[in-house]
Amino acid sequence: MDKFLNKSPVFFDKQIYRQYFSKMVLTDAIKAINIYNNN
């Protein structure tokens, strides 16, 4: 993963990557909770 990040420093600026990753994890968690509640 680090090797990939080092190859594209413009797109994967660490701050942007952290924000993107935390949003992604957050939405996945919300989806999982919704699925769990619906069943």
Mean pLDDT by 10 residues, the chain (39 residues): 57 74 87 88
The pLDDT value recorded for residue 21 is 81
Structural domain boundaries in the chain: 2-38
The pLDDT value recorded for residue 11 is 59
The pLDDT value recorded for residue 12 is 60
The pLDDT value recorded for residue 20 is 81
3-state secondary structure the chain: CHHHHHHCCCCCCHHHHHHHHHHHHHHHHHHHHHHHHHC
The pLDDT value recorded for residue 16 is 77
Q: Residues 9-26, buried b or exposed e (16+ Cβ, 10 A)?
A: eeebeeeeeeeeeeeeee
